A and B are shown apart, each in its own frame.
Chain A
Amino acid sequence: KAGVTQTPRYLIKTRGQQVTLSCSPISGHRSVSWYQQTPGQGLQFLFEYFSETQRNKGNFPGRFSGRQFSNSRSEMNVSTLELGDSALYLCASSWGQASSGEQYFGPGTRLTVT
């Protein structure tokens, strides 16, 4: 089985721009969760999608949004980028809802905002 994939792997944007990141889960997995990872803050939960519905949301501003498609692929969008948005963005997939079992992580997208 192919693992979780994320595109692009690296991205450089300037303040004020917007960005869209993509995550393709393991085949058959219905849940996709997104995390922001920074050296000082660890893994911060952004949101979880299950069967195209947002199930949980972390404590991030409305500039962060996401969606999930019928094939379980998910996208995350960040609008009006700020310098503090520079981070590694990880997605993870699981068969059921993310709180029910193992999550499989993708390699991440490294976003740099200048």
Chain B
Amino acid sequence: GENVEQHPSTLSVQEGDSAVIKCTYSDSASNYFPWYKQELGKRPQLIIDIRSNVGEKKDQRIAVTLNKTAKHFSLHITETQPEDSAVYFCAPAGNQFYFGTGTSLTVIP
């Protein structure tokens, strides 16, 4: 089955700094690469996704980059704000999908 790893598991940054979370996967059939954000006490919500034919996608302060050869994709958050504090999950998907173990991001004001 798929082996999905997220690093780091916890991340603290100062407000205004950048945060990067990396997700590695093993299933070469994976072709859809989303990131979900889960705030405390709330449900996970998609924040950005990318398909395998694209190397990078940006949406305001959030970007995702994909290296299909190396089987990893990363979430980049620039100019972090306290409301970015949450748990972030990657969920690479092909014939099946798998959620990473999550990264707890804390943005310190």
Contact = CB atoms under 8 A, between A and B. Distances in A.
A44 B45 CA distance: 16
Contact of B101 (A42, A56, A92, A101): A42
Contacts, number: 41
Q: How large is the interface on A (under 10, 10 to 19, 20 to 34, 35 or more residues)?
A: 10 to 19
Contacts of A86: none
B44 A90 contact: yes
A95 interface: no
Nearest to B97: A99
B96 interface: yes
Interface of B: 32, 34, 43-46, 49, 89, 91, 93-102
Given A43-B99, A102-B49, A108-B43, 12 more contacts: A42-B100, A42-B102, A43-B102, A45-B97, A45-B99, A92-B44, A99-B32, A101-B49, A103-B46, A103-B91, A105-B44, A106-B43
Nearest 3 CB-CB pairings of A with B: A99-B93, A105-B43, A43-B99
